Structure 1
Amino acid sequence: MRGAPSTLLPVKARSVWRLQAFFESLLVALLPITYGVLLYFFDLPVWILFTFIAIYFLYIFITVIFLPPLRWKRWKYEVLESEIDLQFGVLIVRRQLIPMTRVQHVDTEQGPLLRRYKMADVTIITAATSHRIPTLSLEVAEELRDRIAALAAVAEDE
């Protein structure tokens, strides 16, 4: 049986994921804020507001503090001559093998947060789906993109 992929994502990925989760949690904060505004205008039970606030802080703890290190620990990848091996997941660990003959093209992608940290995602597109290796350093992402593209071209010629 084949072993798990060996390449981990950079440690800085945990910080980026924490920031992304924090910004996403601001949308969840709209629930207690909206209820607080409604409480000002209407005679509603106050305990519901405190419940919403407690749920919000629990959500922040799970998504910002607990999940990013666990997600980082489980995310591994390896690029071989004939395939790309991805392993990821928190509760359910997924393992994907992408044959080089199926790779159509490879992209690097940066949002504002990744650009700030000089990181990028590598997206591998096949005929049926797209796969992503997240939050690699910019140099590694560009090198990986070029390597996968070259290996896919060789696999296509065979």
Structure 2
Amino acid sequence: MLGEPAKHISERALTVWKIRGIITSGLSLLIYVTISVVIFIFHWPKWIIIPLVLLWIVETYFIIFFNPKLRWKIWRYEVREQEIEIQHGLWIVTKTLVPMIRVQHVDTTQGPLLKKYHLASVKISTAATVHEIPALEDVEAEELRHVISNLARVADEDV
């Protein structure tokens, strides 16, 4: 057995994931406020609001502080001559080996948040699916795209 992949994604992913958590938390706050207004309009028991507030606080802590750190620690990848290994997941750990011979093309993508923090994701396409390595440094993502592309071309020529 090979063990865990050696490379981590960028630490700046933490900031991006925290910002996404803040946005998600704000949206869930709107939902909880709407539910609270409905409770007042229909004269339902007011005590229901207390569990909603507690639920929002726990949810906010989890998605802004706890989840990004844990997600960053778990995400790993490694590119070898014959394969790409990707590992992620907390409760269900997914370890994926993508043979170079199966790689059809490699893309880098950047949304507004990733672009602001000079990060990019690498997407590796095979005939069956697309595998993603998220939040790498711009330069590292571009280099990785070229390395995988070259290795896939060599693997294809060997067949």
Shared fold, TM over 0.5: yes
1:37 maps to what in 2?
37
Post-superposition shift, 1:73? Answer: 0.8
- Give the distance between the partners of 2:22 and 2:153, measured in 1 at CA: 40
Query: Any idea what SS the aligned residue of 2:106 has?
Result: strand
Residue identity opposite 1:12 in structure 2 = R
- Give the distance between the partners of 1:25 and 1:129, measured in 2 at CA: 31
Residue correspondence of structure 1 range 46-65 to structure 2 within 5 A:
46-65=46-65
Q: Given that residues 31 and 52 in structure 1 are in contact (C-alpha distance below 8 angstroms), is that contact kept between their aligned partners in structure 2?
A: no
Q: Given that residues 84 and 97 in structure 1 are in contact (C-alpha distance below 8 angstroms), is that contact kept between their aligned partners in structure 2?
A: yes
Q: Given that residues 106 and 124 in structure 1 are in contact (C-alpha distance below 8 angstroms), is that contact kept between their aligned partners in structure 2?
A: yes
1:68 maps to what in 2?
68
Residue correspondence of structure 1 range 126-145 to structure 2 within 5 A:
126-145=126-145
Query: Any idea what SS the aligned residue of 1:29 has?
Result: helix
Deviations, residues 54-87 of structure 1 (Å, cap 9, x unaligned): 1111111111111111111111110011100111
Residue correspondence of structure 1 range 1-40 to structure 2 within 5 A:
1-40=1-40
Query: Any idea what SS the aligned residue of 2:92 has?
Result: coil
Query: Any idea what SS the aligned residue of 2:146 has?
Result: helix
Runs of 5+ unmatched residues, structure 2? none
Mean CA deviation greater in 12-21 or 99-108 = 12-21
Post-superposition shift, 1:157? Answer: 1.0
Which portions of structure 1, spanning 4 or more consecutive aligned residues, are displaced by more than 6 angstroms? none
- Give the distance between the partners of 1:127 and 1:77, measured in 2 at CA: 21
Q: Given that residues 40 and 46 in structure 2 are in contact (C-alpha distance below 8 angstroms), is that contact kept between their aligned partners in structure 1?
A: no
Query: Any idea what SS the aligned residue of 2:104 has?
Result: strand
1:84 maps to what in 2?
84
1:111 maps to what in 2?
111
Residue identity opposite 1:74 in structure 2 = I
Deviations, residues 114-134 of structure 1 (Å, cap 9, x unaligned): 011011110111000110000
User: Percent identity over the alignment?
Assistant: 44
Residue identity opposite 1:100 in structure 2 = M
- Give the distance between the partners of 2:24 and 2:145, measured in 1 at CA: 28
Residue identity opposite 1:87 in structure 2 = Q
Deviations, residues 97-127 of structure 1 (Å, cap 9, x unaligned): 0000101111111111101101111011100
Runs of 5+ unmatched residues, structure 1? none
- Give the distance between the partners of 1:90 and 1:42, measured in 2 at CA: 41
TM-score, structure 2 length as denominator?
Answer: 0.94
